[in-house]
């Protein structure tokens, strides 16, 4: 449903998990002064945004209740402040936990409440310090211990090294930005990935990629794993891993799993085989390309081979066990599993609002995510609501969740940094004193523990345990490969290498839809917003050439083979372009009320353009929209300043 201004007020998503009784999920939105004022999630969770001069200054929540026993509204986030450039700077969660973010004169983030960032003259991140929560084995006291990573780059800004105490990773690339080699060294002294079962151990994993000489397709790799114990080589194992790709370049097998795709080249099914058994996981995608359902693993039925079995025996099988040969081996519904709901209107379409289990034995109930809207039209994860409990989500300079604390203000999940995200989250690290025979000079040995489950990763990504991949909107991202398993659906508009992720520099850029690199495009699309996206002006010159290859053409429109979709797009577009403001009675001296009305009108136009971009352009502004919105916001600021100094006629 939409209001008179074309804004979404209610949206119901129906998922064909069961064709007879499909599940439905409704999200409702409310607005004030042209901005999002609140929303109600499928569970009944109500989230409201408080604003001052158009900027969000607080977020309240109200848990699901009943008409007779409604739950109280509580301030989930309060005292939210912004920088002069509009970047969220500090706030306090309802638990008393706080966020504190600092920025340099270029608008780049230099620190958060849990991390710090250093840059070189080209604007590239060269150091990251993350304070990880740990607990000594001899006491229950929690404390924070810092780990520092250093990053190196080649002359094309590809990440070539990422090192910390007890671990290092190095990469090389070819001229097309394909990763050729990787060397990953780790030790048991700082085992934040939970890799080792003994002390004084180390491992080195070397990989050499096998690339298709006529394309950028990855055909596999050769891996050598060297393990050491007490300073001596324990084993050396070398093994090839072969991938199979289809005519589109999409991976159809990684040696352990088989991947099936739909007509739009999106992953529709994965089959996992082990010890002669096979299980499948089915994915359902809606018309907007969003994955809306994932089934639990289902046993694959193996059909008898009629070409090798006796005809009489086959006839008997068909008579006695007809189900083996029926079309029912591929169900019309996905069955038990988890449904997913995403943002709309002011909330970017890549932002997951919630995940809802429909009764599976391994389900986690329902989980909903609270987002803080930012001035650039994107969103920052700040909260999680799971089965009646609220959690604070701490995000980094890219909007990636790095720390979650519970209602008692205790850390329950943290994701240490890695080069391309190929590491698992951990709970509170277990620390023990460093023995003399340890490999490094770390004062304590750190080891990972089991965290709560939370699968959001880089912006727009969701981790799938069954594949080891990150669902990333239009594609799936392979963190261990540092690239996508499908070619970019926008073709060469996404760059000369259609499999690359974030321009090969995931410490600086993101790709929330699997199509663009918004942080790289931002300086060209809207220079005034670039600092708000944590991208500095110092690197603009070196990024411009790459950004131009990634930007969509100025007249880009999301035309669809479906005529009804095209009509809907035209209606939405015209709803932005056709509205006109009420003229001033006296343009030389408008009244204060007329200026207030003009501000509301302009705010509404901005909201419409942002909603249009989120719906049809996956939250990425094309140059025309970006420039217009930038102009509108400057006009709004001028009118507010005029009101503040009383430059208007009395009403």
Q: What pLDDT, in 10s, does the model give residues 354-365? A: 999 998 777 778
Is there a domain that residue 408 lies in?
no
- Select from 438, 448, 441 the least CA-distant residue to 201: 438
pLDDT above 80: residue 484 = yes
Segments forming the whole domain that contains residue 635? 563-645
Q: Which phi and psi (to 5°) does residue 412 adopt?
A: -125, -10
pLDDT score recorded for residue 129: 98
- Select from 513, 506, 509 the least CA-distant residue to 523: 509
DSSP class of 8: B
Domain boundary among 450, 467, 498: 450
Quick one: average pLDDT of 113-140? Answer: 94
pLDDT digits (tens, 9 = 90+) for 607-620: 888 888 777 776 66
pLDDT above 50: residue 241 = yes
CA distance 532 to 375: 8
**DSSP β-bridge partners for residue 373:** 379
pLDDT above 60: residue 528 = no
Higher pLDDT, 376 or 307: 376
Is there a domain that residue 266 lies in?
no
pLDDT score recorded for residue 440: 67
What are the E-state strand segments in 343-472? 352-357, 366-373, 379-386, 389-395, 401-405, 411-414, 429-433, 444-447, 462-464, 469-472
SS (H, E, C) 49-115: EEEECCEEEEEEEECCCCCCCCCCEEEEEEEEEECCCCCEEEEEECCCCEEECEECCCCCEEECCCE
- Select from 248, 341, 241, 242 the least CA-distant residue to 291: 341
Is there a domain that residue 148 lies in?
yes
Is there a domain that residue 130 lies in?
yes
- Select from 365, 263, 330 the least CA-distant residue to 19: 330
CA distance 478 to 581: 49
Higher pLDDT, 360 or 387: 387
Domain boundary among 426, 450, 474: 450
pLDDT digits (tens, 9 = 90+) for 41-94: 999 999 999 999 889 999 999 999 888 899 999 999 999 999 988 899 999 999
- Select from 8, 2, 1, 5 the least CA-distant residue to 344: 8
Is there a domain that residue 224 lies in?
yes
Quick one: average pLDDT of 25-47? Answer: 96
Helix (H/G/I), strand (E/B), else coil: 185: strand
Is there a domain that residue 402 lies in?
no
- Select from 243, 522, 240 the least CA-distant residue to 374: 522
CA distance 313 to 294: 38
pLDDT above 50: residue 624 = yes
Q: Are 619 and 353 in contact (CB under 8 A)?
A: no
Domain boundary among 405, 425, 450: 450
Strands 125-136 and 429-433: parallel
pLDDT score recorded for residue 119: 96
**DSSP β-bridge partners for residue 46:** 40, 62
Is there a domain that residue 594 lies in?
yes
Is there a domain that residue 591 lies in?
yes
Q: How many domains does the chain have?
A: 2
Token pair 């981790």 is at which residue?
463
- Select from 360, 316, 307 the least CA-distant residue to 338: 360
pLDDT score recorded for residue 626: 66
Quick one: average pLDDT of 271-284? Answer: 89
Enter the pTM of the model. 0.78
Q: Are 102 and 111 in contact (CB under 8 A)?
A: yes
> How many beta carbons lie within 10 A of that of residue 122, not counting itself?
14
Q: Are 41 and 353 in contact (CB under 8 A)?
A: yes
Q: Are 151 and 127 in contact (CB under 8 A)?
A: yes
Higher pLDDT, 437 or 137: 137
pLDDT above 60: residue 525 = no
């Amino acid at each position: 449903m939409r209001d008179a201004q074309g804004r979404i007020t209610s949206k119901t998503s129906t998922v064909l998990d069961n064709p007879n009784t499909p599940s439905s999920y409704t999200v409702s939105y409310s607005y004030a002064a042209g901005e999002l004022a609140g929303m109600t999630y499928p569970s009944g969770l109500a989230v409201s945004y408080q604003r001052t001069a158009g900027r969000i200054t607080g977020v309240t929540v109200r848990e699901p209740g009943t008409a007779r026993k409604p739950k109280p509204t509580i301030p989930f986030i309060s005292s939210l402040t912004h920088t002069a450039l509009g970047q969220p700077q500090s706030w306090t969660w309802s638990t008393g936990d706080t966020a504190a973010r600092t920025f340099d004169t270029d608008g780049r983030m230099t620190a958060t409440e849990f991390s710090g960032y250093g840059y070189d003259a080209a604007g590239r991140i060269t150091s990251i310090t993350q304070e990880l929560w740990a607990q000594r084995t001899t006491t229950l006291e929690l404390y924070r211990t810092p780990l520092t990573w250093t990053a190196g780059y080649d002359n094309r800004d590809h990440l070539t090294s990422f090192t910390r105490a007890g671990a290092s990773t190095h990469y090389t690339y070819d001229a097309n930005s394909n990763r050729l080699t990787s060397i990953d060294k780790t030790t048991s002294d700082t085992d934040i990935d939970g890799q080792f079962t003994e002390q004084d151990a180390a491992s080195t994993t070397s990989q050499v990629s096998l690339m298709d000489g006529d394309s950028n397709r990855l055909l596999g790799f050769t891996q050598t794993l060297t393990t050491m114990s007490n300073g001596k080589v324990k084993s050396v194992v070398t093994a090839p891993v072969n991938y199979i790709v289809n005519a589109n370049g999409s991976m159809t097998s990684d040696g352990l799993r088989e991947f099936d795709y739909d007509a739009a080249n999106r992953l529709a099914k994965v089959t996992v085989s082990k010890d002669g058994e096979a299980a499948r996981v089915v994915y359902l995608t809606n018309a907007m390309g969003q994955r809306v359902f994932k089934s639990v693993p289902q046993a694959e039925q193996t059909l008898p081979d009629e070409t090798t079995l006796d005809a009489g025996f086959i006839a008997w099988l068909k008579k006695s066990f007809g189900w083996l040969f029926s079309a029912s081996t591929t169900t019309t519904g996905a069955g038990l599993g988890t449904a997913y709901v995403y943002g709309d209107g002011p909330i970017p379409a890549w932002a997951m609002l919630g995940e809802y289990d429909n009764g599976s034995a391994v389900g986690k109930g329902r989980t909903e995510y609270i987002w803080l809207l930012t001035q650039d039209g994107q969103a920052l994860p700040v909260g999680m609501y799971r089965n009646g409990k609220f959690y604070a989500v701490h995000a980094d300079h890219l909007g990636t969740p790095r720390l979650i604390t519970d209602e008692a203000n205790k850390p329950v999940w943290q994701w240490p940094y890695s080069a391309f995200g190929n590491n698992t989250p951990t709970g509170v690290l277990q620390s023990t004193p460093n023995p003399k025979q340890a490999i490094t000079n770390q004062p304590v040995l750190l080891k990972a523990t089991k965290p709560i489950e939370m699968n959001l990763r880089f912006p727009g990504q969701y981790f799938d345990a069954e594949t080891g991949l990150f669902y990333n909107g239009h594609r799936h991202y392979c963190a261990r490969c540092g690239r996508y398993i499908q070619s970019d659906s926008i073709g060469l508009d996404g760059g000369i290498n259609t499999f690359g992720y974030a321009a090969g520099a995931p410490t600086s850029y993101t790709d929330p839809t699997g199509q663009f690199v918004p942080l790289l495009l931002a300086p060209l699309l809207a220079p005034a917003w670039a600092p708000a996206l944590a991208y500095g002006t110092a690197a603009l010159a070196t990024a411009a050439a790459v950004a131009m290859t990634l930007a969509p053409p100025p007249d880009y429109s999301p035309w669809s083979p479906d005529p009804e979709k095209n009509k809907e797009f035209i209606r939405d577009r015209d709803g932005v372009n056709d509205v006109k403001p009420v003229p001033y009675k006296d343009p030389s001296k408008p009244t204060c009320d007329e200026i207030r009305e003009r501000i509301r009108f302009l705010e509404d136009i901005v909201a419409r353009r942002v909603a249009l971009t989120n719906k049809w352009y996956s939250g990425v502004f094309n140059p025309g929209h970006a420039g217009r919105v930038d102009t509108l916001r400057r006009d709004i600021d001028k009118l507010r300043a005029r009101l503040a100094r009383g430059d208007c006629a009395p009403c």
